[in-house]
Every structure is written in structure tokens, then in C-alpha cells.
Structure 1
């Protein structure tokens, strides 16, 4: 047993003890955070604009601070980007996490000195919870790989800027750096395929014990190793025993991933976001992810059916119900106030509070971590039709193809044209290019050869009318979703029309 695994066990016991304390008294933990946030926020531009001096309780807060998304918060972010201090939080942020926007392109999410530990400790404590529950810590002694974005950072208004995974890479604890892969130089490579080959070069002769990453990226890493060696991953890395993942639904990838590995390994699911580390799997025996109620975030929950109401119900942690879908709203020491991150969650336990992520508040595709939303596909189509005025469409829907018969995964656009474009291939390329411009995650996946360009399936006349008729949902308020994160609609359309 190595020094890391030996030292991890008492530390894991301490973290488990601290976790029990706040998780058994969640209301008090959230109240303490709420009071701290309001106290610090009073001296900010946002706090003065929203009468923080008059806020004493959560009910006061709801009266003065509306729920908002990035577009609503953007005027304040732009003040920070112009160099102004004390706008959303005291001082200036340590970082901006760049993430895909909706109408605004790239979003800049502030990460402050106070909020950095939330991102770092969440991932650390997920591992330590596993160590404490199972007694297994040997994976900490071997090679650890974190498949992430480049740690190279840019700058905006004197504030370091980059992808969240790259920012977090700078804060990996020193005691893990000596066995962390890939090297900094390799991690900075932007081209995913080139980077992947270098990662394999660095890890092939290493005793890899923990591998962390988004499932499709991890699958590609495993596939390339298998192609090089002709071996299952268990025979290449016999001590590989821990897979850490997050960002997408794991289920579509589970069977193939473990088949490639050649054995079952334990796994830990995490729920990181640019806005904060929300939750992690704290038990191998219990369902759901432990919601981090003591990590600088005060949570609010809106019943999904009320989300688009003018005055939706806003609930604190003590008011939620099991099995009900809620839109997640956060207030944090990064300076995010009444901020809807767009995710929907459901509580599966209240003792402690554990959640499962159920989707996005709007229709979306995130089979590969791209977070493509309806507004983006509609805008991409609109821009493409402007370039091809001879084309005309009746209806369309988009679905991911995770396991195509050949080639890389891709998005399939099922389109009913009333007038076809003169050049179908050029139309398809333009549509793909427009979506890449609107969504940086999708662009990254295409650039990195994780996905191939979208494919269009042209459907016959009246396809969508006949489809809705087959469901008994023709007319009224019924609509075909613009996109979905599974292939149910796509399969039904193929069955009927192709």
C-alpha cells in the first residue's frame, strides 16, 4: 500500500464526518450560506441595485431578486469585463470560465477566490467518500488520468479565462501531480486526435488506476488503445479500478465502455458545472448524487411546470418533495444571483438530500456533452435558409446518433422539405458550420473528431403530420420537439418513412 492510499483513509474519515454534520442539518447549512452571501453582496453593484440592505430572510430575497439566466445577468458581467470591481461579488473574479451560450455565443461565468474551493473540493470529496465507504484507496497510488480541456488560459480585463476543466487542472493538489497524466504539454494540445495519441504514448507503459472523463471521450481513448495493442483495457491496465465521469447520461455508453475494459470497475458520477460543483455520488449503494449544501451555493428550486410562469414558485431545500422535477436555481459566492443554470433535477432522498439530473429545462441534445438547445438549432436552420433561398422546409427535428452502423457518431437532422436546396451537400455543410458557430462545445467535438458533421435525412411530404396523427396528437397545442437527447422520435420517423 502506497503513501497516498495510507494517508487518504484518515482524511476520508474526517471529510465523511464533516459531511454528516451538515447533511443531517441541511436547513441550517443553507441558512448560514444565505446570510453570508447577502452580507457580502450588500457592497456590490448588484446588491445595491436589488436592495440587499433590506433583505433579512429568504422571503425578502425572492421579492427583490428575480430568477434570471445568463442573458439577464449579462449587463453585470459586461461591467466586470470592462474592468470594474465589486459588481457581482466583492473585488474581481479570479477566472472566467468560458462556456457555450444561447443567444450570446460564448458565456463568461465568473469564478472568484471564494468559489474556487467549491470546484476543487467537490471532486476531491467525491473520491474520499468512496474511500471511506469502501475502504478501497489503492487507486490513488497508481497513474491518474483526467481527460480534460487545455489548461492554457487567456485573459479578459486582466482576469484569466479558459474552459472550466482547464482552470481546475491548475488546482490539482500537489500530492496528486506526480502521478497525474497527461503531462501539461500534452494537455495543451488543442487537436483532440493528436492529443489522444500523445496521451496514449504517455500512459501505455504506466500503471493507470483511475481514469476520469466524459464517457464518449473515454471510450475513444480506450478504442485507440485497443487498436494499438489488440488487448482489452484490463490487460493493458490490470490495476485500473476507478472510472470517474460526469457531464452526460452514462447509460448509452455503459455497455460498450465496460465491454472494452473487459471487466467491471467501480465508478463515481459527478455533477460539475461552470457555475459551480453541484453534487457528487457519495455512495456506491444508494441512488443519486449528494447535493452540496455547504459549499458556497444557496439553492432554489422551481417546479418545472411553473418555470415559464411570470411568478413561479421558488422553494428552499426544506420545501422540496421527492420524485418531483425542479429547475435548479443557484446563488453563489461567485456572484451568481437567482441564476437558472437550465438543468432539471429530481430528489431521490431527503436524508441526506440526493438528486438525479433529469435533463434541461428546454429541449436539448447533450449525448456527447455539447449542450445543444432548441434555440441554437433553429437559428442555425434560419441562417442556412437565408443562404439557400430556394430551399423551403415544413418541419424538422434533430437527434443524436451515438452508435452509427459506420463512422463516427453524429447529429441526424430529419427534415421535411417543401422545396429542396439546389445543392444538398452544400446545404448540409452550411447548416453544420452555423451550428458550430453557435455552440462552442459542438465545435470542439467536430474539431476533435469526436463527432462527424451532421447528416440530413429528407422526409417525404406530410411526414410530420402523419407522425403526429399516428400518436393521436395532431392539432391543438401539440408540437414536434425540435430536438431530443434520445432517438425515440428519430426511430419512429425512420420506421414510418424511410
Structure 2
């Protein structure tokens, strides 16, 4: 056992014990945090306009600060981006995290001196919880690779600006930096395919033990390694035993990724966003992600089915229930106030509070009133894949097929790129349709009423999703394919 591995164990025990303290007092922890946030920002432009200094309870926050998304707060974000101080949070932000928005184009999310520890400690503490729960710390003695965006930063009005993963790269603890791959010179390459070639060249001779990244891009990395060496990943990196991921459900990718590796490895899920590091998997084998209630973020939750109401209920951590779908609203020390993140979660544990990510509030399929969510299509696919054990799925998305011809009923279209297709594609599609009907009563009603007919399964050629993402300038990094669309834009792009 190396010195880093040995020293990590008492540190892990200390960190886990600190977490357990606030886990015993979740409501009090969140209330104290809310009061601290509003008192600190009371003198800012936003604070004066919304009388933040008078807020003492979640009810006060709901009364004085409406829920807004990026577009709703854009006038404040624009002032911050222009270099104005004391707009949303005292002073000016340390960074602006640059990310893609669905309706506003590029978004610039502030990261302040107060909020940067949330991003850095969240990732670090996830690994320390893994060490404490499993006793496995040997990965710290070898090389670690983070497949991320470029760490090269621009400057806007004196504020460093770049992708969140690139910003976080500048804050990797010193004791890990010597272990980190790829090199800075490789990491700043913008073209993903060129960058991937360099990553493969740099990592092939190394003792790689931890790999972190979004599953489809990690799969691309594995495919290239296997094509060059003719060997499975377990033979290329025999000490690789921990895969860290976030941003997408691992389920659809698991079979192919593990086949590429050649044996199971431990996996650790995280829930990072440009707006904050929200949760991580604190218990191996437990799919629930521990919600970070003492890390600078005050959480509110809106029942997903009520989100688009004129005055939807806003629940605090004291009010949430198990197995209900909620949209997340954040108030944080990054200067976000009742900010609609866009993600939805479901609580699977309340002691402590653990969630699973169920999708995006705007990424649903309800062209016919069925309101299918991402979790439902992913669960349906996962169920059917267990019935077709040889099948591998590389990527997929679902879109509506709306028919204008009464003789040809409407349906859902599943566009699937198979790593290994089923022998009977039609049977696979029928099973998918049945699995979705069992999960969504509205979809089942539409099928029973013959308003919709059984889904259409369209198998796409190898590399279709990669080519499409490349055409959109979104190949690699932290980019993700939407699971669901309420229109045909993504589907038609893939088919072309």
C-alpha cells in the first residue's frame, strides 16, 4: 500500500463522520443555511430588490423570490458577466461556467469564492466515502484519468470563463495532480477525436486505476484502445477497478462497457452540474445519491406534475416524500436564487435523503398527453435487455411520430444504435412497448384506446450518434444526448 492510499483512510473516516453530523439534522441544517445565504446577499442588487434580509423561512423565500430559470434571471447574469460587482452575491464571481442552454444559447453560471468548495469537495468527498465504505484506496497510488472539457480558460471583464470540468481541473488537489491524466497539453485540445488519439497515446503505457467520464465518451475511449491493442481493458489496465461517472444513467451503457473491460469494476455515480455539485453515491451498491444539504445549496422541490402550474407548491427537505418525481430548485452561495435547475429526481431514502435522477423537466415526451419521462424509457430498455442477454445498446433516443393520415395511427419512434443488435428486432420492439405500458398509465391508456399503436424501433448504423453530435459541435466532453424529445428535430438529424 502506497503512502497516498494509507493516508486517505483516516481522512475518509473523518469526512464521513462530519457528514453524519448534519445527516442527523437535515431540516435544521437547511434552515440555517437559508438564513445564512439571505443575510449574506441582502445588500446585493438582487437582495435589495427581493428584500432578502427579511427572509427567515422557506415560506418567506417562496413568497418573495419567484422560481426562475436562466432566462428569468438573465438580466442579473448579464450584469455579472459584464463585470459588475454585488449583483447576485457580494463581490464578483471567481469564474463563469460556460454551458449550453436549451433556449438561451450559451449560459454563463457564476462560481463564487464561497461556492467553489462545493464543486471541489463534492467530488473529493465522493471518493473518500468510497474509500471508507469499501476499504479500497489503492487507486490513489496509480494513475487517474478524467475525460473532461478543456481546462483552457478565457477572460471576460476580468472573470475567468470556461467549462465547469475545465475549471475544476485547476483545483485538483496537489497530492493527486501527479497521478492525473491526460496532460494539460492534451486536455486543451478542442477537437474530441484528435484529443482522444492523444489520450490513448498517453495512457497506454500507464498504470491506470480510476477512469472518470460520461459513459458514451468513455466507451469511445475503450473502443479505440481495443482497436489498437486487440486486448480487453482488463489486460491493458490490470489495476483499473473504479469507474466514476455522472450526468447520464449508467444502465443502458453498463453491459457494453463491462464487456469492453472484460470483468466487472466498481462504479461510483455523482450528480454534478454547472450550478452546483448536488449529490453522490455514498454507499456502494445503493443506487441512491446522498443529497448534499450542508454544501452551500438550499433545496426546494416542485412536484413534477405541478411544475407548469401558475403557482406550483415549493417543498423544502422537510416536506418531500418517497417515490414522487420532483423538479429541483436551487438557492446557493453562487448567487442563484430559486433557480430552476431543469433536472428531476425521486427520493428513494429519507434517512438520510437520497435521490435518483429521473430526467429533465423539459425533456419529456407528451405529444399525445402521455408525459413519458426519461427514467421510464431507461427502465423499460433495461428490463427488455435482461430478456435479450446478448443485446448491447450504444445510444438511444425517443421521439413522437405524429401521423396526419387517419389510416396510419401515430406512435413513438425509438432510434437505437446497437453495439450488438437483437436477432429479432420486431420482438425486441414489442417487448419495449409492453415494458413502457407497464410504467406509464397514460401511455397504456393511449395504446388501449388505439390512439397510439405499438412503437416503431429504428436501428441506426454504427456511429450514427457520434456523427450527429459531431455535426452539432457536441462531440465528447460533458455533452449528453437527450433521451426524449417532444418534437422531431433530434430524430430527423439522426436519420439524415
TM-score (norm 2): 0.78
Partner of 1:481: 486
CA contact (8 A) 1:133 1:283 kept: yes
Cα deviations by residue, 1:426-458 (Å, 9 ceiling, x for unpaired) = xxx9xx79x97xxxxx5222x89x999x9xxxx
- Answering whether residue 104 of structure 2 is matched by residue 99 of structure 1, we say no
SS of match in other structure, 2:72: helix
Partner of 2:463: 408
Partner of 1:203: 203
Partner of 1:443: 473
- Alignment CA distance shift 1:249-1:84 (3 Å): same
SS of match in other structure, 2:109: strand
How far has the Cα of 1:232 moved from its partner?
A: 0.5
SS of match in other structure, 2:148: coil
Structure 2: state its 5+ residue gaps. Answer: 366-373, 379-392, 401-408, 419-458
Counterpart CA distance in 1 for 2:32 and 2:290 is 19
Counterpart CA distance in 1 for 2:256 and 2:129 is 27
Counterpart CA distance in 1 for 2:172 and 2:60 is 39
- Which shows bigger deviation, 97-106 or 161-170? 97-106
Counterpart CA distance in 2 for 1:8 and 1:364 is 42
How far has the Cα of 1:354 moved from its partner?
A: 0.2
How far has the Cα of 1:236 moved from its partner?
A: 0.6
- Answering whether residue 217 of structure 2 is matched by residue 217 of structure 1, we say yes
CA contact (8 A) 1:364 1:373 kept: no
Partner of 2:426: none
- Alignment CA distance shift 1:262-1:94 (3 Å): same
RMSD: 3.1
Partner of 2:181: 181
Counterpart CA distance in 2 for 1:328 and 1:38 is 19
Structure 1: state its 5+ residue gaps. Answer: 378-393, 412-428, 437-441, 455-479, 488-493
- Alignment CA distance shift 1:451-1:408 (3 Å): farther
CA contact (8 A) 1:363 1:373 kept: no
- Alignment CA distance shift 1:451-1:71 (3 Å): closer
SS of match in other structure, 2:149: coil
- Alignment CA distance shift 1:195-1:167 (3 Å): same
1:157-196 correspondence to structure 2 within 5 Å: 157-196=157-196
SS of match in other structure, 2:245: strand
Partner of 2:309: 309
How far has the Cα of 1:59 moved from its partner?
A: 1.2
How far has the Cα of 1:400 moved from its partner?
A: 5.0
- Alignment CA distance shift 1:483-1:302 (3 Å): farther
Partner of 2:262: 262
Counterpart CA distance in 2 for 1:355 and 1:88 is 29
How far has the Cα of 1:409 moved from its partner?
A: 3.5
CA contact (8 A) 1:364 1:371 kept: no
CA contact (8 A) 1:142 1:209 kept: yes
CA contact (8 A) 1:399 1:484 kept: no
How far has the Cα of 1:79 moved from its partner?
A: 1.0
TM-score (norm 1): 0.78
How far has the Cα of 1:396 moved from its partner?
A: 10
How far has the Cα of 1:51 moved from its partner?
A: 1.3
Report how many residues are paired.
416
Counterpart CA distance in 2 for 1:45 and 1:132 is 44
